[in-house]
Every structure is written in structure tokens, then in C-alpha cells.
Structure 1
Amino acid sequence: MKLIYIIIIVAFLDTFSQLPIISPYAMSLGATPLLTGVIIGMYSFSNIIGNLLAGILIDKRGAKPILFIGMLFVSVMMFFYTVTANAEQLIIVRFFHGLAGGLIVPAAFTILSAKKAETRKGKAMAFSGAAVGIAAIIGPPIGAIISSSYGYNSLFYFLSGLMLIFALCALFFLHPSQKQSPLQSENKTPHGFRLSKALLYSYLSIFLLLCTLGILTYALPLQVSQLQLHSALTGPLLSTFGIIAILIFLLPTNKIFDIENKETITSIGLCFISIALLILSLSTNALSLFTAMVVYGIGFAFIFPTTSAIVLERSGNEKRGMAFGIYYACFSFGVICGSFLSGSLPLSPSALFLFGTIITLLTLGFFKLGICIKDSINF
């Protein structure tokens, strides 16, 4: 179990540690601002393809080999960063890096889901959320420190070696996860993949969470500037929601994810996200901004583990890989949509936060009213 959580940290560390450096690295290779944007977005685009491909391959070949292949492939692609000569080559490397990275997380979560007892799924997913949060907090500083002290290539060599080491650990120390916990007969489907209303709610909720996070990442620095606060405040604000989420994941509060109805907790989480965005849209000082980030952290903590647990519970044994593949495709697509909408809509930071509030509440109301939603759709 500890190895799986470490692998999840390493998988997301690969992404987060490149956030502060990929833009200047692309420009150092001669990329224009437009091309730099394409290079940054290419990873998330191909990551979606990798997530969906992982879902198919995991159900056919098992999660362990897909996890190993994904980590090994990422290790190779990290090395190719060091030999790219121009921006065009970097686009190709980013595409295959995202494709390979898309194999890792669905495979890791499929293995994780097979190793926890039926009654502790929510807690297991809470710990996995803490692993993602830890990577999000330590990744950017690691990337910035290594690249500024030793150069871009040193960071790529470090990440390549780290991936290779844990790929070998996965190969030799992880047991194949063939044994799954029993599922209710209503969740079994002999023909194709069954998209239930609960699964659809999980997918849309994680999409909304990452979409609002994209809006938050884009608009928060602008809001700080507009309120004439110091620009350095943005970092602590973003860290606040991550720290709050990790505390909820790791402290005894994580018991709530196995006691209460998971769809209800997800709905409560979406309400917290809406309230946080509304507070941000009305903020006039630093205290209100920090209050909003605390509320957002609570919402994030409620949504991530419960939506993962819903996928675990509502997907059949033979289609669990596909279920997690679609889940993380929605995760990646949310990142793309949030950034794209923020940059393309001619709205002020306050209006962007209000827009996020409205779409979150509309989705929540749509599902709670059950408008035009079938109980399940077979594919």
C-alpha cells in the first residue's frame, strides 16, 4: 500500500515539478508565446488519450504491466527533453510524455482499489488525495530549485531516474491485482461498459473541480493585483487550500468518507466550491481571499476521494480500468477547459469566479433534480 501511494506521489511530481519551468524552457528553445501555450497544453491533451487507452489496456492486460510500461516510457521521454533542439521537437516530446503519463494514474488507482477492503474505500481514496496534494505542494519548489541551481537538464535527469527507479519497484514488489472486492449484482454488466448515473455524477464532479481549479489558477493572481495586494500573496493563497485538503485527508476526519453517502458528500463538496468562488468574486481584502481558499480546500477534500470511491464501487471488476481511465480523462479535460475558458472569456477576475459559481451550482441542481438522466447507459 505504501509503495502505491509513493508511486502516485512520483507520478504527479513529474507533472507539478515542471509547472514553473516548462514555459521558460520552451522559450529558451525559441518558442513564440502562442507556441509556448501549445506546448504547455499538449501534455494535458495527450494525457486524455493516455487515460482512455489505459482504461482499455488495464481491463485486457491487468494494471501492473500498464503501470510499469507507463512509468518506463515516461522515464525515457524525460531523457528526450534533454536532447530536444527546438520548439517543434518539444511539442512531440510533450505529446508522448502526456500519452505515457496517462497510463500511470489509472493503473495505480486500479491496483489501489483492489487492495482495500470494501468498507474502507473512501479512506483509501482520501490517502491517495493526500498523495496528490503532497506532490502539488513539493513539486513546483523542487522543479524551481533544481532547474535554477543546476539547469533544466538536471531536473529532467532527476525525474527520469526517479521514474525508472519506481518503475522497477513496481515491477518487482507489486503483486498483480487480480482479486477484486465483490460487487453487487446491479453493478455487473456482461456487455460493455455501463455508465450509471452515479458514475456520470462522479465524472462531471471531478471535471468541475479541475475546471474551477483552472479558473482559480488563472484569475487569482489577477484578483490579487486588482485589489492592490502584493503579488507574492498568490503562492500562500494557493498553498492554503492544498494544506487544508491534506489535513482533512490525513486526520481522523477522513472517516467521513466511509460513513456517509458518497454522492451526498460530493454534493456538499460542490456547494463548498461554489461558496468559495462566490467569496472570491466578492473579496475586497486578503482575509476574505484566505477565507475563500480555506472553503475551497474543504470542497476539494470532499470531492476528490468520494468521486474516486464512487468509481471504485460502481464499476464492475472487468471494467474498472476503463472506469478509472474515463475518470482521469475528465480530470485532464477539466484542466484544459478551465484554462481555456479563463483565457478566452472577456471577463474580469470577479466575473470569472462568479461564472465558476454558476456552472457548478447549475450542474449540482441538474443532477439533484434528475432532469433527463437515465439510470444507466451501456456502451
Structure 2
Amino acid sequence: MQAARFLPSPVRLLHWSGIADGISLLVLLGIAMPLKYMAGYPLAVTIAGSVHGGIFILYALAIVYAQARLQWHIKWSFFAGLVAFIPFGNFVYDRILKKHQHAFTVKPIPQRWLIYAIVLFTFIDLFTQLPVMSTFATSVGATVMVAGFIVGMYSLTNTFGNVLSGILTDRYGAFIVLSAGLLTTSLALSSYALVTNVAGLMLVRFIHGFFGGLIVPAAFTYLANETRDDQQGSQNALTGFFVGIAAIIGPAYSGIMASRTSVPFVFLTVAGFGLLLFLLTMFGLQKRRTAAVKESRNQGLVLNKGVLQAFAGAFFLMFSQGALAYLLPLHVAELGYSPRLSGTLLSTFGLVAVLLFALPTNRLFDRLSPLASFAIGLGSMGISQILIGQAVQEGLLYACLAFYGVGFAFLFPAINLLLIGATTLETRGKAYGYFYAFFSVGVVAGSSGLGLLTVPLPMQFLVTGIILLSCVGAVFFLNKQQAVKQESQYQR
């Protein structure tokens, strides 16, 4: 990227934003919190929390920027994010960073890191909605039933955006689709500030979901087409790392900042991130269209075995996620624990998945066959769903969610590898469009479908687990049948 030469030093930017983040955290915990709980001044936490939230966003962007410019081992970025939640952690990290800064060389930003940042933005956009959208809907006059419809509107229209994105990516290339998706999604996020009634919110949700659906298929298609075959597994693991980071940061950020400011303000900050990426994409992403892209106009997607397995994996991955998001808070409440436990349990699964993606364990995804990783992943998620329904102690719940995180870490790269291996450059965009449409449909099926069952919660967890394990069994049975058929044909 030519524009990268004019950007600031990543180490210096990380240093100053980290120090500011560390100081603001100490002010929040050491001054504002005592003023609220000991002196009766809650406004102190409101002000300090808002300032700290804004500084944390800048610090998070500095981490992403440092990773892109220095291209250092991912552990540096991981620990940079981790210390932000530990008092004095930023200062310790800064001292270590200074001792090693001579070993870091500033490099041009690889285009794939811009795509990783776009993936991070897209999933932060998704995960920031989860804790606040239903309450925001009721605050503008929606009933509980209508609020549920408003929440689901995003996933519904996201499906159509995914399909359109795949078609347009194959026809015109990823650059145009990513640019259009980033700009329109950022504008849609900004428009929440204009919402004053239920009808307006429904319209914004419709637009937001549709245009938000344009980004992910184009981004994943670009990464798949630009990665060597022998590195597809680790590349998808790294993409999963950014998805996991978004799953950890997004809900926590929106929940805290919405309570300190407002829901539209939260979405405005995310929109700012999106507009920044739009500008970087316009100036930094290579505007190329391969011959394969030009020839894809008349080629349809072939629904072969690998494609169908990838679609099934995508659907059941998000079916499981939707079921977990629906059932876990109810299960925790039924056991008599604080609602906060649901959030920390979900963070546990995200942290485990992120660690497996970021640590040297990600090399496993280059060595294991996609089908083996598929079975380990979806099977682990199915077993963990059953175990969660039986767990009544807090420690066992954490263990079950950690096991669930292992399953997620194996399944996410596997289904991407299955799709990549079963498609060509000419039709990969369409394949990813339908692939992420199955993601959106899976969430709706998992959360809404189980709500129709009038059985106890442990039984609903059991049904979820059996469905996931049945999918694993069906995939292996069909593969075995095909192998037997091919062998008999060969013998003839």
C-alpha cells in the first residue's frame, strides 16, 4: 500500500494509546468507583466509564494497526488486548514492548490484513447488537413480540445481502462489493441516531441487515483466492481469531457503553470504524479482476458433496449458536445464578476458541483433513450442548463452555476448507454468499425453533446435541456410501 508510508509509527501509537487506556482504567476503578459506591456520586462512573470506553476503542484500533504494520507474532496483539482489562497491565506490557521494539520492523500493510480488519468490523457490528437491540426496540415503543421481530429482521435481510454479495463478487470482484458494503453499512449504523419510533427502527434494521450482508462473503472470497492451498487451514484459523475477538469485545463494549451513553452512540462509534475501513479500502485495496472473475458471469454454482457439507456445517454451527444464546441465559437463571454468569460463560467459549486460533495449535488445521476437523468440531459442540443441560455447578458450566469453544475452533476452519476445496475461482463468491446465508438462517432456526418446544430446558439442550451429532453421523455415512460406490465401480 502506498498510503502506508504516510501513517504514524505503530509502536509509538500503541505506546501512547496503551498508557492512556491504563490511566483511564485506574481512574475508573480507583477514583470513580469509590466515589459512586462510597460517596454517592454515580455521575463519576458515568463520565469516567465513557472516557475509558472511547480510549479503549482507540487502543484496540492501535493494536490492529500495529499487527498490520509490524506483522509480528499474534501473541503480541493478544497480550496487548488482554492487559487492557488488568489494572497496571498496560504499563507492564509497555515496558516489555520497549525492550523488544528494536526487533520489530515496520512493513507495508498486506492487503489481507485490511480484509482481516474488515472481518473484525463486520462481526463487531453483529455482536454489539446482541445485548442492546431488544431493549432499544422497547424504548421506542415496541411490544415484546414486536421487539423480537425487530431483532430477527437483521438476520432475515442479511440472508438476501449474503446471496447478492456472492453473485456480485463473482461478477465484479471483491473490491467493489467490499467498498459498497462498508459505506452503506456505516451509514445504516449512523441512522440509528435518527430513530424515534417502531416503524423507523424496522426500516433501519431492514437496511442495516441487507447491506451488512454484502461484506462477509466478499471478504472471505478474497482471502480464499489470495491464499496458497497449503496455508488455507491456518489462514481460516486466523480469520476465526478475529471473529472470536469480536465475539468477546462486541457484547461487552455495547453493554457498558450503552449504559453509560446510549445505543445510537454505540452504533455511531462502530460506524466510524467502518468509514475508516472504507477509506483504507478505497486507497489501499488492489482493484483487480482476474480472468476467472470475468468468465464467471455465465457459470452457476455446482452443488457437489463438499459444498453441501460446508453449507450443512454453516447451518448447524449457527443453529448451535442460536440455541446457546437462547437457552443458556434461561438455564443460568433457572439454576439461581446471576445473569452476569451467562456473559462470562459465553466469553469463556470465545476465549478458548481465540487461543486455539492464535497459538501454534492453529497448525493443526493445515494438517488435519477438513472432514476430520468437521467431525471433531461439530461432535464436540453437540456433546457440550448435552452436558450444559445436565450441569448445575458453576465450575462444570465453565468446563462445558470451554469444551464448546474447542469444538467451535475446529469446526469454523473445517467448513471454510470444505467450501474452498469444492469450488473454483469462478464460483467461489456465489458459494460464500449462500454459505453465509445458511449462517443467518441457522441462527433463526436455533433460537426460534427451540422456543416452540414445550419441554424442560435440559431436554432442549439434549435435542440440540442430538441434532448436531446426527449431522456428524449423516456426513460420515454419506461419505462412506460414496467411497463404497466408487470402489465397486473401480472393481468393475
Structure 1 residue 71: Cα displacement: 0.8
Q: What is the TM-score of this pair, normalised by structure 2?
A: 0.72
Counterpart pick for 2:466 among 358, 366, 375: 358
Counterpart pick for 1:57 among 146, 168, 179: 168
Counterpart pick for 2:383 among 264, 275, 279: 275
Q: Is the 8 A contact 1:271 1:361 kept in 2?
A: yes
Give the Cα separation in 2 of the matches to 1:35 and 1:230: 27
Structure 1 unpaired stretches of 5+? 182-187
The aligned residue for residue 185 of structure 2 is: 74
- Label 1:163 to 1:85 Cα distance change in 2 as closer, same or farther (>3 A): same
Structure 1 residue 148: Cα displacement: 2.2
Give the Cα separation in 2 of the matches to 1:191 and 1:173: 30
> Are residues 1:104 and 2:212 paired?
no
Aligned-partner SS, 1:27: helix
Structure 1 residue 362: Cα displacement: 1.5
Counterpart pick for 1:259 among 367, 374, 387: 367
Structure 1 residue 262: Cα displacement: 0.7
The aligned residue for residue 296 of structure 1 is: 404
- Label 1:264 to 1:154 Cα distance change in 2 as closer, same or farther (>3 A): same
Q: Is the 8 A contact 2:322 2:444 kept in 1?
A: yes
Larger Rg: 2
Give the Cα separation in 2 of the matches to 1:370 and 1:180: 35
Can you list the C-alpha shifts for 1:64-120, whole angstroms capped at 9, x where unaligned?
A: 100110111111111221112211121111011100000000111111112211110
Structure 1 residue 180: Cα displacement: 9.5
Opposite residue 349 of structure 2, the aligned amino acid is F
> Are residues 1:322 and 2:433 paired?
no
Opposite residue 75 of structure 1, the aligned amino acid is S
Q: What is the TM-score of this pair, normalised by structure 1?
A: 0.93
Give the Cα separation in 1 of the matches to 2:210 and 2:351: 30
Aligned-partner SS, 1:316: coil
The aligned residue for residue 137 of structure 1 is: 248
> Which structure 2 residues correspond to residues 39-58 of structure 1 after superposition, within 5 A?
39-58=150-169
Aligned-partner SS, 2:303: strand
Counterpart pick for 1:228 among 320, 325, 336: 336
Aligned-partner SS, 1:194: coil
Counterpart pick for 1:311 among 416, 419, 431: 419
Q: Is the 8 A contact 2:225 2:425 kept in 1?
A: no
Q: Is the 8 A contact 2:299 2:427 kept in 1?
A: no
Structure 1 residue 324: Cα displacement: 0.6
> Are residues 1:335 and 2:446 paired?
no
> Which structure 2 residues correspond to residues 104-183 of structure 1 after superposition, within 5 A?
104-176=215-287, 178=289
Could you tell which deviates more after superposition, 210-219 or 139-148?
139-148
Structure 2 unpaired stretches of 5+? 1-111, 484-492
Structure 1 residue 144: Cα displacement: 2.2
Q: How many residues align?
A: 369
Aligned-partner SS, 1:17: helix
Structure 1 residue 342: Cα displacement: 2.5
Give the Cα separation in 2 of the matches to 1:326 and 1:374: 24
> Are residues 1:6 and 2:113 paired?
no
> Are residues 1:212 and 2:320 paired?
yes
Aligned-partner SS, 1:370: helix
Can you list the C-alpha shifts for 1:211-234, whole angstroms capped at 9, x where unaligned?
A: 111111111122222223333221
Structure 1 residue 305: Cα displacement: 1.1
Structure 1 residue 271: Cα displacement: 1.3
Q: Is the 8 A contact 1:197 1:373 kept in 2?
A: no
Give the Cα separation in 2 of the matches to 1:191 and 1:208: 28
Can you list the C-alpha shifts for 1:260-291, whole angstroms capped at 9, x where unaligned?
A: 11111101111111211121122131222112
Which structure carries more relative contact order (alpha carbon 8 Å, separation 6+)? 1
Opposite residue 446 of structure 2, the aligned amino acid is G
Q: Is the 8 A contact 1:114 1:177 kept in 2?
A: no
Opposite residue 323 of structure 2, the aligned amino acid is I
Give the Cα separation in 1 of the matches to 2:376 and 2:288: 33
Structure 1 residue 192: Cα displacement: 1.7
Could you tell which deviates more after superposition, 344-353 or 327-336?
344-353
Q: Is the 8 A contact 2:128 2:254 kept in 1?
A: yes
Opposite residue 212 of structure 1, the aligned amino acid is S
